[in-house]
Structure 1
Amino acid sequence: MRRSVPMQRLDGLVDPRQGLGAAEAQARSARYGLNVIIPGVRSGWRTTLADTLRDPMLWFLLATGALFMLIGSYTEALIMLLALVPLFGMDAYLHRRTQASVEGLSGRLATTARVLRDGSQRTVPAETLVPGDLVLVRSGEFFPADGLIVAGEELQVDESTLTGEAWPVRKQVVEQGLFSHIRETAVEDVYWGMAGTRQLTGHAWLRVTLTGAETLYGEVVRSAVAGPHAQTPLQRSVAHLVKVLIVAAIVFCLALAWLRYHQGHGLVDALLSALTLAIAALPEEFPVVLTFFLGVGVYRLARRRALVRRSLVVESIGRVSCVCSDKTGTLTEGRLRLTHLLPMSNISEQRLQTLAAAASQADSGDPLDEAVLSNCPPPVEQHILARFPFTEDRRKATMVSEQEDGLLVAVKGAPEVVLGLCELPEAERRDWLAAVEAYSNDGHKVIGCAYRTLTSEAWTGANQIGG
């Protein structure tokens, strides 16, 4: 994915250590607006009532009830008014569900940001960020806006919020020469840090480029919250039928009123006769039945944890014959879970779990570390001497900890990389690779673990682990 960089916002900000001044930030805020990625959702009964009053079905039921009142049929008028209760109740329920979904989207956004202003770091509300700001994003934190990564190392980001893929994505720093020669051109996503995504490893300095609704996350939210309120085919058919019957009823009512008046029954009698015929002819049952069954559909979908923003989509769902869906986060949870352990004959499963936990980092934000540590937390007494996190180059994570009998070096990572560190007979190596392939074919993510012990004198401090 390539995104365009509006370089007029970054003029004079080539130095990756240069932030904005307070005066310049205030001027840019007035020009570009606040960094409000998800606009506030209107709430309250007034908003719900205003949205409901736009429904022509509501006015039809009110008009029918008023006609019943005019001819003295108060029981029928009360029934028409009671038919409005599910209509109001369904709209209020869907309004609350929509508001809850937007609040859930807001939970993936940073509320504060560590920004460089006037040469010093300070923590400010994320909504006050402007294009050109230099922001520090640490491990485990969310990016507060879209921007180019101008400094950092060993950067991995969780972009599952935008892409649906739970695996860490490697990021790179924009080269100084490339950054200085960019002019309204597209830049590869490997150089971007985007709002709503989370830094997993390393610290990144982000040059903010896009804020608010211009961010990619903001575009996703707008497409989810907005959208046309189009009528469904059934609703259009019912509305057309009701209009035709209303026109026909009006014609017959006027004809009946004219006939009764010319027969000498008087104006009041003629009007009452016309109203009586109108009540009998108007198809008020269609809107009531349609509203009732849409409400039942919304209720049944809600019980199955389906988010329905508008009741009209119930009919659309009934017409669906084929569903194309992204896997992660839809058909799957997007979370890893430790399900199988395959230790060597001289190592127990508990020992294997302990070694995997020793090679994991509790605060890394890596879903793999979280899955391992959820089954076996790292020993409290271990003292970490060195940590080499997983990168795409190394394809393994290494922890060196101090034990009572010396040093423990624990490694976990890609099975072929870990097996390459071990001294194994070729036949046994092939057996392990065959087991890895079998698990992979069944949809599992396979991680290899290995360890060795060292004396304090043998440890050189380098990441050169073998055995």
Structure 2
Amino acid sequence: MKAASPESTNGEPIWTLGIDESLVQFSVDPTQGLASQDARHRQLQYGRNQLRAVQRRSILSIVVDQFKSIVILLLAAAGTLAILFGDYTEGLAIFAVIGINSMIGFLTEWRAVRSMEALKDLGRVNTVVIRDGVMRQIPADDLVPGDIVIFEGGDIVTADIRLIEAAKLQADESMLTGESLPIPKQVEVLTLETPMMERSNMVFKGTAITRGSGKGMVSSTGLNTELGHISELVSEAGSQQTPLEKQLNALGGRLAGVVLVITCLIAIAGILAGRDTYLAIEVAVALAVAAIPEGLPIVATIALARGMWRMAKRNALIARLSAVETLGATSVILTDKTGTLTENRMTVTEIRLSGVDVITDAMDAQDAATKSLLDDLLTTAALCNNASVQETSEGDMHAVGDPTELALLVAALQRGKRRDDLVEATPEINELPFDPDTKLMATFHRNNADVLVAVKGAPESVVPICRYLRTLDGDVRLTEQEGMKWLDRANELGNRGLRTLAIASKITSDAGGEA
């Protein structure tokens, strides 16, 4: 049995310890990392950095599962009796039905098992660590407590890690907490009572770095991570029979009892009537065979298999055939939304300009004046942005950053505005990062001899600091009454479940003052 990986070696939670104390507790130098020999020793002590793997279903187990139904066992018994009493046609027909039923069930479930294993293989990731004083990439499964890990925007966190460096670091923890907004990270000590979702000096296995870069020390691996605790709870839930399985087994049990009683009565009645004993038993067995519904299992299996194939076409994999019936009977599903039903990806759906509302799918259909105003807004949104969208060699888009900022970049790309090109034309010279108190962010860009300030944030923070409103006819003075109208529009959108942002810009000569 492997030892539990420690949150710290003295029993104090790692988030309550300072950086130097944490490193001492795990006996590691942040510049040299662990020695390879020490890492191997720790892996023997704590085990591999893996969650409890669900036992792989073998071909034999899948085959055996096809014969667990009482109805199938009754059919097998009936077929055997038919052959024993010389009715080879009936017996072989029954076994053919059993074989076809089992083959359909086996092939359907085996395909699902193979698909799930292929998905697991695609999910294997590597992690950048420092070992023996050298930065190297290793499989995430080989991480051990005390490893020094380096990560940047776009990386998946592969263990629970105490941060020792954080540069504008943010993490998407929606998988663990359901919070769709990226969480800012820092390295300072926290109190013992700090709940998991507020431990800003930690990053957790299964989450993703959306912005910035960082360096940290692995504190927990495998089942001892926060994600591991959740997986343990899930694994404790044992498998249960579905309603259909229960009903078929109940039917099979009642059918077996009735057939057995009637068969015995007929056999006894025939013998008491003076008929040949063998003939009386043969008649009773023939009646028993006829009473068992040979077509029921195959009809049920085909119906479930069809449902399973239809689900697969909609990108839903079901491991067990019997689960289709339960899913079909489900009327209410209680589930986490972010990262489960949704991908924590956002898109810009509406843009409210002065005098016109634009649906993003119809941006190219606007008149020239609207397009010009729209391009000004999207240019500002792309400049006041720390996300990144790059095209890979395969032609796919690789996106890294805050989901809201990524949505703005994608909208800008629809109008041909690439952030890299915009920053090249107007280089960024300063930034005021997003502040939860002010609820806005500003970037400063060199624009010939002047400075362009690009601002985005919550409408209630941005609108009050604006003095002008850009319209189709140019800039006009923004009155307090008009400002209140824009805030009302923002509230209206918010009531529809939309996240709202206000975008503003100005030309100034000050690259460090208030936006």
Same fold flag (TM > 0.5): yes
| Residue in structure 2 matching 1:241, options 251, 254, 257 | 251
Please state how far the C-alpha of 1:33 moved relative to its aligned partner: 1.1
Give the corresponding residue for 2:93: 78
What does 1:27-426 correspond to in 2, within 5 Å? 27-37=41-51, 39=53, 42=56, 45-46=59-60, 48-70=62-84, 71-74=86-89, 77-78=92-93, 80-97=95-112, 100-101=115-116, 104=119, 111-175=125-189, 188-220=198-230, 227-254=237-264, 269=279, 272-299=282-309, 301-302=311-312, 306-317=316-327, 319-329=329-339, 334-344=344-354, 348-363=373-388, 364-376=400-412, 377-378=418-419, 380=421, 382-383=423-424, 384-386=427-429, 388=431, 389-392=433-436, 395-404=439-448, 406-424=450-468, 425-426=479-480
Aligned residues: 452
Secondary structure of the corresponding residue to residue 433 of structure 1: helix
**Which whole-Å CA distance do the structure 2 matches of 1:185 and 1:334 have between them?**
25
Please state how far the C-alpha of 1:306 moved relative to its aligned partner: 4.8
Let me know the Cα RMSD of the aligned residues.
3.8
Give the corresponding residue for 2:16: none
What does 1:451-462 correspond to in 2, within 5 Å? 451-454=505-508, 458-459=510-511, 462=512
**Which whole-Å CA distance do the structure 2 matches of 1:358 and 1:295 have between them?**
52
Q: CA separation of 1:197/1:299 partners in 2, compared to 1, >3 Å: closer, same or farther? A: same
Please state how far the C-alpha of 1:216 moved relative to its aligned partner: 3.4
Secondary structure of the corresponding residue to residue 36 of structure 1: coil
Identity of aligned residues (%): 29
**Which whole-Å CA distance do the structure 1 matches of 2:442 and 2:403 have between them?**
17
2:101–2:298 Cα contact (<8 Å) kept: no
Length-normalised TM-score, structure 2: 0.74
Give the corresponding residue for 1:13: 26
Please state how far the C-alpha of 1:121 moved relative to its aligned partner: 2.6
**Which whole-Å CA distance do the structure 1 matches of 2:112 and 2:235 have between them?**
12
Please state how far the C-alpha of 1:365 moved relative to its aligned partner: 1.8
- 1:149-178 deviation digits (Å, cap 9, x = unpaired): 233143211122233442212233242xx6
- 1:383-414 deviation digits (Å, cap 9, x = unpaired): 23335343535643333334456543322222
Secondary structure of the corresponding residue to residue 352 of structure 2: coil
Q: CA separation of 1:101/1:429 partners in 2, compared to 1, >3 Å: closer, same or farther? A: farther
More displaced 10-residue stretch of structure 1: 337-346 or 262-271:
262-271
**Which whole-Å CA distance do the structure 1 matches of 2:242 and 2:60 have between them?**
26
Q: CA separation of 1:222/1:393 partners in 2, compared to 1, >3 Å: closer, same or farther? A: same
More displaced 10-residue stretch of structure 1: 207-216 or 125-134:
207-216
**Which whole-Å CA distance do the structure 2 matches of 1:379 and 1:96 have between them?**
45
Gaps of at least 5 residues in structure 2 are 11-21, 356-368, 389-399, 413-417, 469-478
Length-normalised TM-score, structure 1: 0.80
Gaps of at least 5 residues in structure 1 are none
**Which whole-Å CA distance do the structure 1 matches of 2:165 and 2:116 have between them?**
35
**Which whole-Å CA distance do the structure 1 matches of 2:456 and 2:341 have between them?**
28
More displaced 10-residue stretch of structure 1: 149-158 or 61-70:
61-70
2:452–2:507 Cα contact (<8 Å) kept: yes
Please state how far the C-alpha of 1:279 moved relative to its aligned partner: 0.9
**Which whole-Å CA distance do the structure 2 matches of 1:440 and 1:130 have between them?**
45
1:382–1:402 Cα contact (<8 Å) kept: no
1:154–1:391 Cα contact (<8 Å) kept: no
| Residue in structure 2 matching 1:440, options 485, 490, 494 | 494
Q: CA separation of 1:253/1:34 partners in 2, compared to 1, >3 Å: closer, same or farther? A: same
